[in-house]
Structure 1
Amino acid sequence: MADDLGRVLLDRYRLIEPLGQGGMGTVWRVHDTRLGREVAAKQLRLPPELDSEQRASWTARLDREARAAARLRHPGIVTVHDLVVSEDGQPWIIMELVPGRSLADLLAREGTLAPDRAAALGLQILDALAAAHRAGIVHRDLKPANVLLEGERALLTDFGIAAVEGETALTRSGALLGTPAFMAPEQVRGQPATAATDLWALGATLYNAVEGRPPFAGSATGAVLVAIATEAPSPMSNAGPLQPVVERLLDKDPAGRPDTAALRAMLSRVASAPPRPAAEAPPSPAAPPTRPLPPAPGHPKRTVLIAVALFAVLAVAGTGLTYALRGDSAYAANKKDAATIGAPSGFTLKKEQKVDADRVRLVYSGCPQFCAGSPSTLASTVQVAAHWLARVRSVSSVGPPVASANQAVWTMAVTTNTAPRISNVRVIAVGDPMQDVVLQLEVG
């Protein structure tokens, strides 16, 4: 990177200093010698394993995306000025220079944002997304690093360009491009990105802003993708009134996410809500302790009433405790049954989760020999899971696997006569081409 300082692209753009670096390239502060102004230039590093034909295809696609992004005129969208190709064949995006920092930088410094402040930023991001969606452009890689802040003004960058950088396709080396933690389930499953996909990413970005972490975590990329496709987000503790908004945005079904008008109304309410009153201060330690007054003479009924009330409270609490213990006992029994099931060939048990108080959800991950990236090979993997289920001792029948419209999710109806009772069986393809296969079922 230091070797590029002072470099002049196409006899026009002089590189002054690097502003940031990511997996796909470096953003520079640049002086445009022709117009006498400062701009930003993003140096895009194409994967080294691409051959000349593939490089030409990537550059052509970048050109199309840059042209689309350059049509956008909105105060919340960083303007794209040009796409150029340097002498060494690397593409550069010339953009508006925003004097400020990214939301990711702000969170790294401050940790989290208050819900009303996050909602106010969310409103600005939503307006920018709505303008792009009206123009037929989907961002596809919205995340805190792509939200630039100039004071309290938010601007989105990498519009359209991120549609190429952030796609879930694999390179020949098997490296996943994009930002897994902010991908929507439909992206993970290889389905086309839509406006609802950007709204999911907005929800993940707002979650990150108030909680200080993404909604889904994992020790590796594959674990994050599996969590996005199959699990609920980690519980929120700081979101306050923003929590129901984020939960709506993180609906795994794109149709379940709010539209722009409904979302704008929800975010406006949170952004304009008065701050919650501070908790009542505890009594001063200097204050003398007070003693309860003894019951007045001549009122024996008061003592009886207090005793009855206390008995009622204990009885209700005891009932709740009984139900809790009963639920724990049922969960323990289901967990014991789940341990007897084992795993189908080629799959490994990755996670056990408690669902609906007493049931156990088992999540298996694996890519047997059939994992080659086409619907027919996924169907073969589904048959492996079906044959395995049919051999579980309690299973009397396994219904024919039913595929979703794009064949990325398959479901099976399982009938059991005794424990372990199995239900909600799903087989999910992760990635496009298929990186992993997830088998999910519930016991109890």
Structure 2
Amino acid sequence: MDDDHGQLLSGRYRLSRLLGQGGMGAVWRAHDERLGRDVAIKELRLPSHLEEPERQNRIARLDREARAAARLKHPGIITVHDRISGPDGRPWIIMELVDGGSLADLIQAQGALTPERTADVGRQVAAALDAAHRMGITHRDIKPANILLEEERVVLTDFGIAALEGDATLTATGMIMGTPAFMAPEQVRGLPATAESDLWSLGATLYAAVEGRAPFAGTTPSAVLVAVATEPPIPAARAGALGPVLDGLLHKDPAARPTMDRLQAVLNSVAAPTPPAAGPDTLVPPTMPAWSPTVRQTAPRPTPEPEPAPHRPFPRRAKLGVATLVLAMAAGAGYIISQGAGDDSRYEANRKVAEALTVPAGFSRPTTTRVRPNRAQVTYTWPAPCIDHCADQVRLATEWMARQPGVARIDALGAELGGCLDDEYGCPILIVRVPSYEDPTLQGAALQTKNNRLSLRVDVGR
């Protein structure tokens, strides 16, 4: 916590200042009193309501982050010095201190970067990723916030959800891991992340740097996920020579993305373009400091930008299928996607079906609320605290959903493991519907625990 300031860890690391914090941890600036140097220390925070299996899962994730970064020795990857345990047994990672902010901080403070500066950041991150991929490590969460800038050096950090070749997975099959605006389409669909997925995320990150905004927009995280899976990126207006690179990286088909060697070659050329040879009719203005008030430099004529690569339309059938899958998952997670105003008669038809549903075995009678556009959301609650990640209750809930009319298949996406039950929106449940069924039925669902009580939210509609 913030009052940990001044705490001495392992007899040598004195915490001095909180640098940042998130949902699962915090990063401190500290002084290594034994070696006389400043370091960064990542603290794992474990809320008191977590049960022991989930506490151990989070500790295992931090350990995996330490192992992933410790395997790698590269100037573009954060250096891990040690992993220690605090007085209460919680793990802390001792890392090099990168004395600078993140790429996200820079974009927020300065706005869009030039194509050349963006390419320079990109080529350094690409080199770091190349080193990680050669060691069998997929980062899975490339985004501006995980890229640190120290003068001209660019450092990739936060391997918290990295996939290590040969390690047992800590993520349930089908569970979505990552940040929506920077996740590859295959990750959105619940497929395993690969080296090509990291390239997509790098492309989205470079797009955000050169344009000042992410390539896919939406009013909710679920809307962003649908856009990533089914829509082309918003056309880039400032990318210049970087445009074709972004088009290639953001290709929906992983096999169509550029190879790492090709990517690095193109980024190098954009970051350090070859100046045109000076001829008799060429004016080469003097190079002066940007702050000089006394010299006016002749602005070079803009060079025509290359034509953007032709967009390959995503097959409509595939697009609709992916959109249905993502929407079902997102709606079940508590995200509501606006599809325009609806009429009361449609909602009333959905509400009648919702209130006629049976109650899952052991759950309490439901409450029904209206969610946009016209769906009826039913909430069932387990009356007592549950144990063992609520595994029995999750099974009862999914079996009940699978028996409802119009439902072809249910996939709990690892909810029975409990890792997402405490999340802000809980665990989304994938509902595959019978295509020919036309009456209102289950459209999305989520399971979530609050105060160790399990609730099941179900959306009913057409």
Give 1:430-441 correspondences, 5 Å limit. Answer: none
Which residue in 1 is equivalent to 2:324? none
Aligned residues of 2:103 and 2:148 also touching (Cα < 8 A) = yes
Which residue in 1 is equivalent to 2:102? 102
Aligned residues of 1:378 and 1:429 also touching (Cα < 8 A) = yes
Max Rg structure: 1
Aligned-pair CA distance for 1:85: 2.9
Aligned-pair CA distance for 1:147: 0.9
Task: Specify the code of the residue in structure 1 equivalent to 2:26.
Answer: T
The reply on whether 1:381 has 2:432 as its aligned counterpart is: yes
TM-score (norm 1): 0.62
Cα 1:430/1:11, change in 2 over 3 Å: farther
Aligned residues of 2:176 and 2:190 also touching (Cα < 8 A) = no
Which residue in 2 is equivalent to 1:190? 190
Aligned residues of 2:120 and 2:267 also touching (Cα < 8 A) = yes
TM-score (norm 2): 0.60
Which residue in 2 is equivalent to 1:218? 218
Which residue in 1 is equivalent to 2:63? 63
Aligned-pair CA distance for 1:30: 0.6
Aligned-pair CA distance for 1:378: 8.8
Aligned residues of 2:103 and 2:147 also touching (Cα < 8 A) = yes
Aligned residues of 1:82 and 1:93 also touching (Cα < 8 A) = yes
Give 1:109-258 correspondences, 5 Å limit. Answer: 109-158=109-158, 160-163=159-162, 178-258=178-258
Aligned residues of 2:57 and 2:170 also touching (Cα < 8 A) = no
Give CA-to-partner distance per residue, 1:14-37, whole Å, 9 cap, x none: 111112223332211111123222
Consecutive unaligned residues of structure 1, counting only runs of 5 or more, are: 281-343, 353-363, 390-427, 438-444
Task: Specify the code of the residue in structure 2 equivalent to 1:143.
Answer: K
CA distance in 2, matches of 1:15, 1:134: 35
Which residue in 2 is equivalent to 1:81? 81
Task: Specify the code of the residue in structure 2 equivalent to 1:373.
Answer: D
Task: Specify the code of the residue in structure 2 equivalent to 1:120.
Answer: D
Aligned residues of 1:168 and 1:177 also touching (Cα < 8 A) = no
CA distance in 1, matches of 2:2, 2:412: 44
Aligned-pair CA distance for 1:258: 0.9
Aligned residues of 1:229 and 1:430 also touching (Cα < 8 A) = no
- Match of 1:101, SS state, is coil
Give 1:252-271 correspondences, 5 Å limit. Answer: 252-271=252-271
Question: Which stretch of structure 1 is more off in the superposition, 256-265 or 40-49?
Answer: 40-49
Percent identity over paired residues: 53
CA distance in 2, matches of 1:233, 1:227: 8
Cα 1:168/1:62, change in 2 over 3 Å: closer
CA distance in 2, matches of 1:65, 1:190: 21
Task: Specify the code of the residue in structure 2 equivalent to 1:188.
Answer: V
Which residue in 1 is equivalent to 2:11? 11
Aligned-pair CA distance for 1:48: 5.2
Which residue in 1 is equivalent to 2:31? 31
- Match of 2:6, SS state, is coil
CA distance in 2, matches of 1:73, 1:92: 20
Aligned residues of 2:139 and 2:161 also touching (Cα < 8 A) = yes
Aligned-pair CA distance for 1:10: 2.7
CA distance in 2, matches of 1:12, 1:40: 13
- Match of 1:72, SS state, is coil
Aligned-pair CA distance for 1:133: 0.5
Give CA-to-partner distance per residue, 1:313-350, whole Å, 9 cap, x none: xxxxxxxxxxxxxxxxxxxxxxxxxxxxxxx9x99985
Aligned residues of 1:168 and 1:431 also touching (Cα < 8 A) = no
- Match of 1:17, SS state, is strand
Task: Specify the code of the residue in structure 2 equivalent to 1:161.
Answer: G
Question: Which stretch of structure 1 is more off in the superposition, 184-193 or 120-129?
Answer: 184-193
- Match of 2:138, SS state, is coil
Residues matched between the structures, number: 316
Task: Specify the code of the residue in structure 2 equivalent to 1:87.
Answer: P
Cα 1:140/1:279, change in 2 over 3 Å: closer
Consecutive unaligned residues of structure 2, counting only runs of 5 or more, are: 164-168, 276-298, 304-327, 341-372, 379-400, 403-408, 414-427, 449-456
Cα 1:64/1:349, change in 2 over 3 Å: closer
Aligned-pair CA distance for 1:127: 0.4
